[in-house]
Amino acid sequence: MKAAIAISVALATTLTWPAEAGRLGDFGRPEPSVVTGAILPWIGNKLAARRGEPVSRFQLTDWEMELRARAYSMFMPMHRLHFFARHRAELVRTRVWPDEKYRIHVASYYTALRAQGFISTPARYNALEQAIRADLALIEPFIVTAERVYADDRRRMDALRASAAAHELGVDAEARIYENRRVTDWAVIAMQWRVEAYIFALDTTRIEMPSVRAVDVEMALRRLSAAVDIMAASIDRMEADLLIEGHLPPDVPPGPIDLQGPVYKR
């Protein structure tokens, strides 16, 4: 009954969301609001718990908040005019919908790019290259922030082992580690999907509007692809270090990285 009420509230909330979704703040996130900052996360945690997913009651640390803010720019669809795509992504991000609901259609970015109605061939290539370079700038700061969060997770587990209240705090501590892994894993998957979307957009634009500018865009795309590979390897290393050092609880389920991801480089 409670779950049904929560779902009803979530659906009702989405109907009033469009007015707020257009106002963006830091990291491309919507400006703080009751909907995105309180209602959806509260409902999402309730529904995630009912699905058997770990949910922590701990307050977020400064680095955990920054990690989520930076991941938002990667997780949300690239083109802000794709309201319904962003809407679905927000419901997954806040855990109202389960992780497997998150999917990206690689052609959608090209469709949005084409719809902007560029009057010249270079203009479209310029827009594509600028988007790729903007995404490239997101990766290094995200990796640095993730390193700090994973270091705090090690400290958290060390403190838990030394605490007399371990039996009371252990569930929340392990759930927070899962939630942090969920954020980093989704950021990797989202960036891999973005690479696919850019590949599709470049290949299609080359056919529709041939230009020597395609070479410059391809070089930028190769740099982004390499950076995404480094990002994925860095997150894998961080998670492996937690596991090897005994800081990663063995009963914490794997993050969404195990879902069917993009075909990029397979």
pLDDT at residue 25, as a whole number: 45
Give the domain ranges of the chain: 2-258
> pLDDT tens digits, the chain, 266 residues: what are they?
555 555 555 555 554 444 444 455 444 445 556 777 678 889 999 999 999 999 999 999 999 999 999 999 898 876 655 666 778 888 888 899 998 887 777 888 898 888 888 889 999 999 999 999 999 999 999 999 999 999 999 999 889 888 877 777 888 998 999 999 999 999 999 999 999 999 999 999 999 999 999 999 999 999 999 999 999 999 999 988 877 666 555 555 555 544 444 443 32
pLDDT at residue 21, as a whole number: 47
Q: What DSSP string runs through 171-209?
A: HHHHHHHHHHHHHHHHHHHHHHHHHHHHHHHHHHHHHHS
Taking the CB of residue 213, how many other CB atoms lie within 10 A of it? 19
Q: Is 7 exposed, middle or buried (0-12, 13-18, 19+ CB in 10 A)?
A: middle
Number of H helices, E strands in the chain: 10, 0
173-208: buried (b, 16+ CB within 10 Å) or exposed (e) per residue? bbbbbbbbbbbbbbbbbbbbbbbbbbbbbbeebeee
CA dist 91 and 7 (Å) reads 11
Q: What pLDDT, in 10s, does the model give residues 131-145?
A: 999 999 999 999 999
Nearest-5° Cα angle at 188, 184 to 189: 115
Q: Which structure tokens are listed for 250?
A: 């063995």
pLDDT at residue 146, as a whole number: 97
CA dist 232 and 20 (Å) reads 33
Q: Is 116 exposed, middle or buried (0-12, 13-18, 19+ CB in 10 A)?
A: exposed
Q: Give percent helix, percent strand, percent coil of the chain, each to the nearest 5.
A: 75, 0, 25
Q: Which structure tokens are listed for 106?
A: 């690689």
Nearest-5° Cα angle at 142, 233 to 48: 85
Q: What pLDDT, in 10s, does the model give residues 183-235?
A: 999 999 999 999 999 999 999 999 999 999 999 999 999 999 999 999 999 99
Tell me the β-bridge partners of 24.
30
